[in-house]
Amino acid sequence: MSESSDIRRIALIGDYLPRKCGIATYTYDLRHALATQYPQCDVVVVPVNDLPEGYDYPEEVRFEIQEQELDGYRRAADYLNFNDVDVICLQHEYGIFGGTAGRYILTLLREVHAPIVTTLHTVLQQPNKDQRSVMLQLADLSARLIVMTERGRMMLREVYGVADDKIDVIPHGIPDMPFVDPNFYKDQFHVEGKHVLLTFGLLSPNKGIEYALRALPRILREFPETVYIVLGATHPNLVREQGETYRLMLQRLAQELGVHRNVLFYNRFVELKELLEFIGAADIYLTPYLNREQITSGTLAYSFGCGKAVISTPYWHAEELLADHRGVLVPPRDSEAIAQAVIELLADEPRRHAMRKRAYLLGREMVWQNVAHRFMESFHRARSVATPRHRRLKTLDEQGAVLPPWRFDHLLALTDTVGIFQHAKYAFPDYAHGYCTDDNSRALLLTVLLEELGQFTPSVKRARNAYTAFINYAFDPQTHRFQNFMSFDRRWLGSSVDESDDCLGRAIWALGTCVGRSQDRGLQMWAAQLFDRAVGAVLSTTSPRAWAFALLGIHEYLRRLAGDRQASRARETLALQLLELYERTASDDWPWFEDIVTYSNAKLPHALILSGRWMEHGGMLDVGLKSLEWLCQVQKAPSGCFRPIGNDGFYPRGGSPALYDQQPIEAQATVSACIEAYHTTKDPRWVEEARLAFEWFLGRNDLGEPLYDSRTGGCRDGLHEDRLNENQGAESTLAFLLSLAEYYLLEAALESDPEARRSDLAAQDA
């Protein structure tokens, strides 16, 4: 047993059993190996939860992080610092941490004192912009990087510019299993006397199992006593999104091919002892994966190291592990090649057993006992080169915004199977005013942002279905516009189709956001089709706000479908109309679009900032920024707090701004516009303006009273001279929730860019 010298406490961060995923199993096995080989070390675990209720973890789990809760990563850093951890070992995979490309984990890594050793379970050869940014910051924050293959080392050097002396290559760990005859285990599964093919792991479409099934008829003609065992539960994420569609497809395929009597599906996540028995019974392990760029496969490592003959498609890990006749590579999606390889191995027993022996002997280096020692060597290297990272306690400003936790009680209380009610009496729905497309569009847009933030709970999903159905029903195929107002008894009211340009603009905004941001393929397709039918109608509208709403939606739509000429022409037309309106009306002392400042005001400059940026129209961008800067000035009280233009008179040219009835929709529009101004200019003063507008909801206003009701999750309808409007209608509640969503996204962006955070703090100090 090796000594760990001065290393007494190790913290592992990653998924952990009983969560069902490969990284959870890896972290569990690594922790067990370290604790066994170094009993004097306290090896603690900090797992990441993808479910609100978490998991029933064993006692070594000392602190939990909710995947999409940014503050949870900060708290975890504090926990690790307070408990004097000597080394932090991160298990990194983009998909298991919150934020874009899993960037929330960077928040934790920046704040911990101990050196960081990061195990990279994925190294992408062609990362997108966000993935590259996260990987570069991860490499910078880590004292050591561990990859499991030489190819991983090469890609870190060539793609990400990581110094070779910072990288350790440690193979995927495997259990220590004796080299045994497969017949020893076959009777346990009632397959004695048969040739056994095995695939195991969490089922998902990228595993390519259907190609192995299609190879079976030819295999069975040569070797009729062959069975194919498909072991493993369907991946939990796939079950949540699609149910058991993939498994049922495989079972139907086996029936259609006439091989169902030779295929055994075991739909469960098995413990290690039982898994080793399944592996032991296999004559050949099949891994027909479809993704060539898979740098690591735990199932391949287990089967190979346990001395199995392996037939695999040529993904990166397989190419390296199965070289020099240690396995057989076949082309992807090629059932004939799989069949030929299986037949040749079953017919040539000496070759098959020689292959098994070569794999088993190399696998001795991969047993967890040896892997644990190599990890400890990496930990020592990390401690020898790491600079102490002790930091002073952060001021309140440095801790960023303290954001309320998500609460959807009131949103869901206002929502029934038809859609969201317009108004409320205090905190309960007011049926008398029914529903409107305006609010259902805002609500649909919110659910897309919640999906992006990892807050897409089953109840939110049900609400989204109602909002989607309402908007779909509101569309008039004759006018290509939307009816707006519906009574509680589901009757459309008045001639709302002809009267509400803004309703049309808001619907286009929501539809475009569904197309550009949602990952729900069905929602995208529905929204794209309705967007295509409606977007032309907005060109005949006369409301500048309808133009602005539509421009926001067109931008989101073009994020995904940039080649759509109709949408591009509509953006150009509407943006130029809005710019022309400004140029006709504005003066040096009145840099505004109309002779009165009324409602949803910040949406007008917001639309020009966004359009000017993406159309590369400098004049348009300048007008957007100039008009927003003026609006922020006139929306500021002498005390410095945000004071939106009141509904009680608005702000006519040559007059004075109305101080009251201040509306939540103005704060939301300002938050959103200022965040866009920041992303466009990187000027931190826009973050400060967004913060002021957001804090208006929380009590930094003329009355010093919060409009957000933390008891219900709703937002009060307005701020009068002497009191709050205690009703909590849909527009107000959605204004707050949209602001909160955008602010969470902003905080994530600032956390991922420390320089931007420092600039923001400097702007606040100034």
What CATH number does residue 409 fall under? 1.50.10.10
pLDDT band at 748 (very low <50, low <70, confident <90, very high): confident
Residue 17 token pair: 């059993």
Q: Same domain, yes or no, for 351 and 463? A: no
What average pLDDT score do residues 729-750 get? 94
191 and 149 belong to one structural domain: no
Residue 490 pLDDT grade (very low, low, confident, very high; cuts 50, 70, 90): very high
Q: Are residues 153 and 257 in the same domain?
A: no
Neighbours of 329 (CB within 10 A): 17
**Same domain? 133 vs 81:** yes
Say if residue 735's pLDDT is above 80: yes
**Of the candidates 28, 366, 376, 35, which has an alpha carbon nearest to the alpha carbon of residue 176?**
366
Structure tokens at 507: 């619907």
Boundary residue ending a domain (354, 385, 416) = 385
Tell me, what DSSP letter sits at residue 367? Answer: B
* Under 8 Å between Cβ of 452 and 742: no
How high is the mean pLDDT of the chain?
90
Q: Is residue 80 part of a domain?
A: yes
Percent of the chain residues topping a pLDDT of 90: 71
CA distances from 572 to 9, 257, 568 (A): 60, 55, 6
CB 316 within 8 A of CB 293: yes
Looking at residue 268, the DSSP 8-state letter turns out to be: S
**Residue-number span of the structural domain to which 541 is assigned:** 398-765
Question: Mind listing the pLDDT tens digit for each residue in 179-213?
Answer: 878 888 888 888 888 999 999 887 888 889 999 99
**Which residues make Cβ contacts (< 8 Å) with residue 470, sequence separation at least 6?**
418, 419, 420, 435, 437, 440, 486
pLDDT in tens, 505-540: 999 999 999 999 998 999 999 999 999 999 999 999
Query: To which H or E segment does residue 281 belong?
Result: helix 272-281
Does the residue 402 lie in any domain?
Answer: yes
Domain match, 376 and 415 both: no
1 vs 376: CA distance, rounded Å: 12
Write the CB contacts of 229 (distance below 8 Å, at least 6 apart in sequence).
189, 191, 196, 197, 198, 199, 200, 264, 266, 278, 281, 282
Nearest to 740 by CA among 464, 398, 402: 402
Q: Please state the length of the chain.
A: 766
The span from the CA of 586 to the CA of 304, in Å, is 73
pLDDT for 43 beyond 60: yes
One domain, residues 331 and 446: no
For residue 411, being part of any structural domain is answered with yes
144 token code pair: 């050591």
pLDDT of residue 321: 84
For position 401, what pLDDT does the model report?
54
* Residue 391 is assigned to a structural domain of this protein: no
Domain check: are 169 and 197 in the same one?
A: no
Residue 399 has pLDDT above 50, yes or no: no
CA dihedral (373, 376, 377, 378) in degrees, to 10, reads 130
Residue 125, domain CATH: 3.40.50.2000
pLDDT in the model for residue 756: 54
469 lies in a domain? yes
Is 1 domain-assigned? no
Nearest one of 552, 573, 612 to 738, comparing CA atoms: 552
Cis check: omega of the bond before 661, within 30 degrees of 0: yes
9 CB neighbour count, 10 Å cutoff:
16
Give yes or no for a cis peptide into 18 (omega within 30° of 0): yes
List, for residues 353-366, the tens digit of each pLDDT value.
899 998 888 888 88
**Are residues 341 and 307 part of one domain?**
yes
Is the domain of 361 the same as that of 376? no
- Give CA 552 to chain center in angstroms: 22
Per-residue pLDDT reduced to its tens digit, 49-64: 998 888 999 999 999 9
Is residue 429 included in any domain, yes or no? yes
Asked if 546 and 463 sit in the same domain, the reply is yes
pLDDT tens-digit series, residues 574-619: 999 999 999 999 999 999 999 999 999 999 999 999 999 999 999 9
Mean pLDDT of 29-54: 94
Least confident of 219-233, 440-454, 490-504, 740-754: 490-504
Mean pLDDT to the nearest integer, 12-16? 96
Element (H, E) at 147: strand 144-147
Asked if residue 612 belongs to a domain, the reply is: yes
Let me know whether 157 and 44 are in one domain. yes
| Pair (539, 419) in one structural domain | yes
At a CB cut-off of 8 Å and minimum separation 6, what does 620 contact? 575, 579, 608, 611, 612
Number of domains in the chain: 3
CA angle 741-684-108, nearest 5°? 60
- The pLDDT, as a whole number, for residue 689 is 96
Q: What is the pLDDT of residue 766?
A: 44
Look at residues 516, 518, 743, 690 and name the one whose alpha carbon lies nearest to residue 614. 516
